[in-house]
């Protein structure tokens, strides 16, 4: 699928995606895929554990734990499960991009994402600069200017 066949570089100029040399060789792509699959399995296991624990299925008997403390721990487990669910969606999205041949390119500009960034965050959707801009626009980070 070549939905990202062209990317805008500057107003009025276009570049064909096929002219962008992918920096990801088959070995790097396979290594990053393994990292994503391992992260997916860890997140799924964490979600299962958190949900089981929040439902009261654990090695600890209810009498052993103060009820208020248990409620706080259940809320924390559910909150962590929600966070893990969001991250799992990002990992799944990255795996689909590998399958579709779109992995390693920014969803905003179509520019290649640095291998170092993908190695650190295999589910990255944007270049580092674009991600910072995105975070600033949402008020999550401050502009360094």
Task: Give me the CATH number covering residue 98.
Answer: 1.20.120.910
Asked if the model's pLDDT at residue 79 lies above 60, the reply is yes
Q: Is residue 145 part of a domain?
A: no
The torsion of the CA quartet 107, 108, 113, 117, rounded to 10 degrees, works out to -90
The per-residue pLDDT for 27 is 92
pLDDT digits (tens, 9 = 90+) for 1-34: 333 333 333 333 344 443 333 478 899 999 999 9
The per-residue pLDDT for 82 is 85
Q: How far is CA 120 from the centre of its chain?
A: 11
Q: Is residue 41 part of a domain?
A: yes
Q: Is residue 143 part of a domain?
A: no
When mean pLDDT is compared across 8-17, 43-52, 83-92, 116-125, the lowest value belongs to: 8-17
By three-state DSSP, how is residue 14 classified?
A: strand
Mean pLDDT, rounded, for 111-136 = 95
Domain count, the chain: 1
Q: Is residue 84 part of a domain?
A: yes
The per-residue pLDDT for 143 is 77
* Domain interval for residue 51: 6-137
Q: Is residue 72 part of a domain?
A: yes
Q: Is residue 142 part of a domain?
A: no
């Amino acid at each position: 699928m070549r939905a990202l066949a062209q990317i805008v570089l500057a107003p009025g100029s276009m570049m064909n995606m096929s002219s962008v040399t992918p920096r990801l060789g088959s070995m790097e792509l396979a290594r990053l895929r393994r990292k994503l699959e391992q992260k997916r399995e860890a997140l799924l296991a964490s979600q299962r554990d958190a949900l089981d624990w929040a439902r009261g299925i654990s090695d600890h008997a209810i009498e052993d734990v103060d009820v208020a403390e248990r409620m706080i721990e259940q809320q924390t487990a559910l909150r962590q499960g929600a966070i893990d669910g969001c991250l799992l969606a990002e990992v799944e999205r990255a795996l689909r991009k590998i399958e579709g041949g779109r992995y390693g390119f920014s969803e905003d500009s179509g520019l290649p994402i640095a291998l170092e960034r993908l190695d650190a965050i295999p589910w990255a959707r944007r270049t580092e600069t674009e991600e910072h801009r995105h975070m600033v626009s949402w008020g999550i980070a401050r502009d360094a200017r």
